[in-house]
Amino acid sequence: MAQLVKKDDDRDEEGVHYLVCYLIAKACWSYSTAEYSPFLGIEKGAVLQEARVFNDPQLDSRRCSQVITKLLYLLNQGETFTKIEATEVFFAVTKLFQSRDIGLRRMVYLMIKELSPSADEVIIVTSSLMKDMNSKTDMYRANAIRVLCRITDGTLLTQIERYLKQAIVDKNPVVASAALVSGIHLLQTNPEIVKRWSNEVQEAVQSRAALVQFHALALLHQIRQNDRLAVSKLVTSLTRGTVRSPLAQCLLIRYTSQVIRESGVNNQSGDRPFYDYLEGCLRHKAEMVIFEAARAITELSGVTSRELTPAITVLQLFLSSSKPVLRFAAVRTLNKVAMTHPMAVTNCNIDMESLISDQNRSIATLAITTLLKTGNESSVDRLMKQITNFMSDIADEFKIVVVEAIRSLCLKFPLKYRSLMNFLSNILREEGGFEYKKAIVDSIVILISDIPDAKESGLLHLCEFIEDCEFTYLSTQILHFLGIEGPKTSDPSKYIRYIYNRVILENATVRASAVSTLAKFGAMVDSLKPRIFILLRRCLFDSDDEVRDRATLYLSTLGGDGSVVETDKDVKEFLFGSLDVPLVNLETSLKNYVSVHAEIQEPSEEPFDINSVPKEVKSQPLAEKKAPGKKPTGLSAPPTGPTSTVDAYEKLLSNIPEFSSFGKLFKSSVPVELTEAETEYAVNAVKHIFDSHVVFQYNCTNTIPEILLENVSVVVDASEAADFSELASKPLRSLPYDSPGQTFVAFEKPEGVPAVGKFSNMLRFISKEVDPSTGEAEEDGVEDEYQLEDLEVVSADYVLKVGVSNFKNAWESMGPDCERVDEYGLGPRESLAEAVSAVINLLGLQPCEGTEAVPSNSRSHTCLLSGVFIGNVKVLVRLSFGIDGPKEVAMKLAVRSEDESVSDAIHEIVACG
């Protein structure tokens, strides 16, 4: 029997590879003579004509295989066949079942799968395929199973289920694997049928054939994947040594890792379940199993140094392997481990240094970046020498990785900034693309900001770079940074030459940026003012209007008479202060200001007031987004003109006499839904926050055509909000069908205090039936009420999300006088990202500089937040998170504001939250 199987396999190989070898040989010959491809110029129409060869009485197997190859090529290139064309080809292909050529039969199977015949056409080939399923030729059986399972539906599947079960436990591994793989695909469409095969699949898991065991384990896990207990039992039974296939062993390691993640650490013994199995796999004879086990151990949550040691040891052995794939896999895994456990990888440094000269540049890059993460201070200079020769041989994408690693190394060892800064400046002068140069510039800027001793040399390196910089973005970025840091150096005058050269030699964008930088030097260094004024006056004759306008503005602001006087604090704030209003809101307010006076065709007597610009980050339209199937509620359409939400709400509330004395509106929340979708009445609420009042605006919509609601009001129970007392309410006189309206309730609270509480709401009204023919309501109505969801006022309602463009400058300018710092334990969390998100949502502040994003596998993170507290008090928050123990998150909270009571209030919010 084994000889017969071997003979069939040999014929199978001959049939499959004959056509492939023929086409490759022909393609190579044609390419060498006329650069010709066997598929060049293939047209669908011509190939369909050639397909008539399928109808010949004497079939030419080679010719038929060539035509099917062309048809498959067209289908895989995206060529679409019409319904008629596909049907004709399908029926022609079915005639090839009469051929006994094994290679042609395999091509027929492929063609039927690709054509995906309709239910009516499937019947034509079902009998032939079922006949092949029971054939004595194993190749026929395996491929017939694959095709049938691909094109069949649930009805036919029940008819052939018995054959599939038999195939799963077939002695021939090719047939068994075909049935198991088909089961994996069928599980997506007919899961109930496949789940009935569990006994047969369980038996196949014990097979001695490697691929059969691999496919059987994959299918069995998918059948049980939604049952955690069943998966745990499966892993427990198989980790006792019944898995022989290396592929199946790799799968089992992955499933074991999943069980470990879900079960966690044993609190009594401190051990992990199944860790001994993973460690045992490190001694397996198959390299793929060893690597899979090592990688699984390194990726365990909260892995300790003791647990890492055996995995690091085998990865270190792989570093000296003769196989590039093993070296790459090992160094990439060690690179990831170095991010969280750098000390555990230091023993591999000698082996990784030898990989810097590896012919595979990916391996060399990973080796260097890992060494930069794990190296000590004494090895920095040696590494820099090795990297210098290496950088010229790799692409920009690898260079960026190395630059980022060097930046991290410099921050780790600040005393080595000279050699590292010189290295960065040298590669900055070499050829490279924008992303590469930007990575270097960003690294130098970060090093200057974090290492004070590096400022002088770093700024000079950047000045030399912009002398020959081809990227406008980088030139303007450096000029902006130079304007902030340059005046603070011991000799600011040496940078003026570099800046003014940009005015003479560069494009308009860079020239405008250089003018602004010159003005900042004049504002901060009084002794340089006369020279700065001379240079700015020369800019008044520039060809670009933006450059001229900036020069005029700064001369006027700084006092262009040339006298050496101390610059006003307001001027410095104008030049260096961050814009604390969103640009979108500023643009909207400016357009309103211009359009109002354009209509009356008179200039404004009052200047534009930037304090009138709303500080909310997002402007929500007044037309609230309706839930699926729900009518829009609230103000049915946004007001005409580009008016912001806060302006419109403030105008609406000021026109109501009961609320007109509440003062300036601080913030309006986004609408909070108080009813489910598809209910009789749609209600949402907007919370309007004043200094000593809170107004609830209930936006109501009647969704019943035959009903008119009158005297609509919301009765609010504030028993769970002790600091609030109801002051006034404004009911809604009438609420017709599909016509939104508002009712209001106002509460008084302590002035300037972020009081919180929960409010229960009951909608009360008089319901009157409407005559459909006349549209008039009856005179008598029925009093009714409708329970709404609770509404909460939380601490975040008293904070406006206002970003800052440069958090570091804003933090330093705020000063430490009103700073409050404390540490908090946040308890167990699923991840560091979850803890960061929870604190951001609790405080309601605006994340700055993208710090809300937490890198994966990070064990510490810093998040920067900014905003305005009620009373228009600016607030800056620096959050430092760290994982302390298994999933325990600790947080250090530093708050700076213009009022120490506000800093205390932020801490109180966190302490009570």
A 10 A CB-CB count for 39 gives: 13
User: Which pLDDT score, from 0 to 100, does residue 97 have?
Assistant: 85
Comparing 487-491, 611-615, 766-770, which segment has the lowest mean pLDDT?
Answer: 611-615
pLDDT of 746 > 90? The answer is yes
User: Which pLDDT score, from 0 to 100, does residue 813 have?
Assistant: 80
Phi-psi region of 634 (alpha: psi -120 to 50; beta: other; left: phi over 0): left
User: Which pLDDT score, from 0 to 100, does residue 872 have?
Assistant: 83
> Which of 109-123, 389-403, 491-505 ranks highest by mean pLDDT?
491-505
User: Which pLDDT score, from 0 to 100, does residue 498 have?
Assistant: 92
User: Which pLDDT score, from 0 to 100, does residue 2 have?
Assistant: 38
Indicate whether this model's pTM tops 0.85: no
* Rounded percentage of the chain residues whose pLDDT exceeds 90: 20
The DSSP bridge partners found for residue 793 are 757
Determine whether 452 is exposed, middle or buried from the number of CB atoms within 10 Å of its CB (0-12, 13-18, 19+): exposed
Q: Where are the alpha helices (DSSP H) in 559-582?
A: 569-576
CB 499 within 8 A of CB 514: yes
A 10 A CB-CB count for 228 gives: 13
CB 195 within 8 A of CB 203: no
Look at 419 and 564; give whichever has higher pLDDT: 419
Look at 660 and 247; give whichever has higher pLDDT: 247
pLDDT tens figures, 832-848: 888 888 898 888 888 88
A 10 A CB-CB count for 720 gives: 13
First to last CA, the chain: 74
Contacting residues for 320 by C-beta, under 8 A, at least 6 apart: 327, 351, 354
Question: Encoding tokens for residue 541?
Answer: 């004759």
pLDDT of 513 > 90? The answer is yes
The number of CA neighbours under 13 Å toward the Cβ of 396 is: 12
Question: Encoding tokens for residue 773?
Answer: 């023919």
CA distance 723 to 8: 87
**Cβ density class 656-672: b for 16+ within 10 Å, e for less:** eeebeebeebbbbbebb
User: Which pLDDT score, from 0 to 100, does residue 127 have?
Assistant: 78
CA distance 176 to 142: 8
Determine whether 385 is exposed, middle or buried from the number of CB atoms within 10 Å of its CB (0-12, 13-18, 19+): exposed
> Which of 23-27, 96-100, 248-252 ranks highest by mean pLDDT?
248-252
Question: Encoding tokens for residue 859?
Answer: 């064990």
User: Which pLDDT score, from 0 to 100, does residue 301 have?
Assistant: 82
Amino acid at 688: H
CA distance 770 to 749: 42
3-state secondary structure of 663: coil
User: Which pLDDT score, from 0 to 100, does residue 761 have?
Assistant: 93
Contacting residues for 403 by C-beta, under 8 A, at least 6 apart: 424, 427, 436, 439, 440, 443
Comparing 65-74, 511-520, 562-571, 872-881, which segment has the lowest mean pLDDT?
Answer: 562-571
Q: If you search the block for the tokens 């990070």, which residue do you land on?
A: 858
User: Which pLDDT score, from 0 to 100, does residue 359 have?
Assistant: 86
Look at 230 and 645; give whichever has higher pLDDT: 230
Q: Please give the average per-residue pLDDT across 400-412, as a whole number.
A: 82
Which residue from 786, 779, 736, 797 is spatially nearest to 760, judged by alpha carbons?
786
Question: Encoding tokens for residue 314?
Answer: 């085998």
* Rounded percentage of the chain residues whose pLDDT exceeds 70: 87
Q: Please give the average per-residue pLDDT across 641-649, as a whole number.
A: 58
pLDDT of 635 > 70? The answer is no
User: Which pLDDT score, from 0 to 100, does residue 420 have?
Assistant: 83
Look at 577 and 820; give whichever has higher pLDDT: 820
Phi-psi region of 670 (alpha: psi -120 to 50; beta: other; left: phi over 0): beta
CA distance 23 to 330: 39
The DSSP bridge partners found for residue 735 are 709
CB 469 within 8 A of CB 475: yes
Q: If you search the block for the tokens 């065991």, which residue do you land on?
A: 213
CA distance 90 to 87: 5
pLDDT tens figures, 439-462: 999 999 988 888 888 888 999 999
pLDDT, mean over the chain: 82
The DSSP bridge partners found for residue 823 are 892
Comparing 30-39, 99-108, 271-280, 893-902, which segment has the lowest mean pLDDT?
Answer: 30-39
CA distance 612 to 446: 35
3-state secondary structure of 668: strand
Element (H, E) at 878: strand 873-883
Which residue from 233, 291, 221 is spatially nearest to 263, judged by alpha carbons?
233
CA distance 555 to 529: 10
